[in-house]
Chain A
């Protein structure tokens, strides 16, 4: 599965790894909904770090689509809200 960390690049991750990261993903999502900046920051840092360790960086000239995308490492909670934009915060 290919995951993009925005502003950073794409990583190729084994499906098993992605499953293991789901709890972190859920934690960040909840933090965004609650407006909990601290928990959001910690969760995002942890998730991105885990992806960098577990994933293989795709070569620069690859034109593959990402299956999942994550906000940039220095994104604020507010920016992530904007990113989700029209979709709002209602889980689809």
Chain B
């Protein structure tokens, strides 16, 4: 027997078993309708849960992206100061973040897919529940218990199949979301613990930031010095920039230039 046939047989058997039939089949209609409404609100809750998870992952993506951007800026600054070693370190840390980012991005896409599927499932179920309600009222108004049976069976089988399908879809979405929430929780903890901050220097004075800051004032002196030298002799500026690597006492050099050009040097 084909896979399609087997799945449908098994599914139908389960759906039938799930439906408790009352003495008066017309009562079963009301009972089933109640169950349908319960399932509908369950699906809607499912959509909201998945959306919450998606937003959480989006927030994490934004946080990590911010850290990655900061590292890029640090690398640029380090390079402009002639510190290729620092720039390399910043970029290395950024690439470590990149794999985490792509993982989160994949999760975000998956959650969005689940959200869309569940939203559609909820729309389908709502349309069917509404259709069932109309039929239910017609059946109750027009037929006796005995007469109603066939009509009820017809209305039931379609809706119970949908309910089984939607029930399973919600379950699958919940399982997937739970897995991802566990991972999202781990990343939140990582961010909260500062482990990622240390690596990427967000809002903290990490080693790269400290070194860049320390160099910054020195760099200002050196570049001004270079400008002055260029004004005097027109040729020694590159050497002054390179001097930043070996961190010479800049003041000494500045003082020397100041001697040569007293008024400019005090600017």
* Of listed B128, B131, B161, B169, residue having the most chain A CB within 10 A: B161
In the complex the two chains form, is B158's CB within 8 Å of A63's CB? Answer: yes
1/0 per position for A2-33, CB-CB distance to B under 8 A? 01101111000000000000100110110010
B22 within 8 A of A: no
CB-CB nearest in chain B for A91:
B1
Interface bracket on A = 20 to 34
A67 within 8 A of B: yes
A22: chain B residues at CB < 8 Å are: 2
A64 within 8 A of B: yes
CB within 8 Å for A65 and B3 given contacts A7-B168, A7-B169? no
In the complex the two chains form, is B132's CB within 8 Å of A63's CB? Answer: yes
1/0 per position for A58-88, CB-CB distance to B under 8 A? 0111111111111110000000100111110
In the complex the two chains form, is A70's CB within 8 Å of B6's CB? Answer: no
In the complex the two chains form, is A7's CB within 8 Å of B128's CB? Answer: no
1/0 per position for B3-29, CB-CB distance to A under 8 A? 111111111000000000000000000
CB-CB nearest in chain A for B126:
A60
A25: chain B residues at CB < 8 Å are: 2-4
Q: How many A-B residue pairs have CB under 8 A?
A: 88
A65: chain B residues at CB < 8 Å are: 157-158, 161
In the complex the two chains form, is A9's CB within 8 Å of B124's CB? Answer: yes
Main secondary structure of the interface of B (DSSP, over half): helix
A66: chain B residues at CB < 8 Å are: 8, 161
In the complex the two chains form, is A64's CB within 8 Å of B158's CB? Answer: yes
A71 vs B130: C-alpha distance when bound (angstroms):
26
In the complex the two chains form, is A61's CB within 8 Å of B128's CB? Answer: yes
CB-CB nearest in chain B for A9:
B124
A-binding residues in B (CB < 8 A): 1-11, 117, 120-121, 123-124, 126-128, 130-132, 135, 154-155, 157-159, 161, 165, 168-169, 172
B-binding residues in A (CB < 8 A): 3-4, 6-9, 22, 25-26, 28-29, 32, 59-72, 80, 83-87, 91-92
